[in-house]
Amino acid sequence: MEKPNPTKRTRREFLQAFLAMPVTFVFAAWGRRTEAAPLALLSTPDCGDDDDVTPRQTEGPYFTPNSPERTSLLESGITGTKITVTGKVLTTDCKPVAHALVDFWHADDKGEYDNVGYKLRGHQFTDATGRYTLKTIVPGLYPGRTRHYHVKVQAPNQRILTTQLYFPDERRNNTDRIFNPVLLMEVKNVADGKTATFDFVLKIVK
């Protein structure tokens, strides 16, 4: 059994602790560092800053090309907690990317990938507002990894971003060496399962 490591704190936890401080203390702390340091430097990565592109992560061993085009991976035989993942594909200057390819693949609720067919694999294209919607299940755990989705995102005529998305409050987030808190989705419980949101930010090369 893995034990949570209370001495390890994610960037998000630091941020939460920071935001919980009284405002006067926060500004006093900043004042000691440098007058000019903007508070926004600590904000969650988002579009609007060239350095805040969604980070790349390893593809892993289980990508299969030519997945079917679909927004729902739910089909007969798929069990587990249903989840709807939504978000946008944005440029670093916050513009929506229409017709971006978003290709998800992930393990089933027992932590197994379908490496023969296309179960829990599918690609789609963002709409005119850059939005994607994926209906699927919460993936199971498999040895050595925390809970995650794999995804490839590609704006038209741009380089493919291969990355992974993570779930908050997972014990293994503290021990998984690939995990990056910047790639945490915002997850909520709803009546028939969960919802999650994540916006991808791409650097567009003209």
Nearest to 121, CA basis, from 59, 65, 61, 179: 65
Q: Which CB, 179 or 200, lies closer to Fe ion?
A: 179
Q: Which CB, 94 or 178, lies closer to Fe ion?
A: 178
The minimum distance between CB 188 and Fe ion, in angstroms, equals 23
181 touching Fe ion, by CB under 5 A: no
As a whole number of angstroms, the distance between CA 202 and CA 93 comes to 9
Structure tokens at 182: 């910047």
User: 1 to 60, contacts with Fe ion by CB under 5 A?
Assistant: 60
140 touching Fe ion, by CB under 5 A: no
The minimum distance between CB 60 and Fe ion, in angstroms, equals 5
Q: Which CB, 60 or 140, lies closer to Fe ion?
A: 60
Structure tokens at 36: 């000019």
As a whole number of angstroms, the distance between CA 104 and CA 101 comes to 10
Which single residue brings its beta carbon nearest to Fe ion?
A: 60
Binding site for Fe ion (CB under 5 A): 60
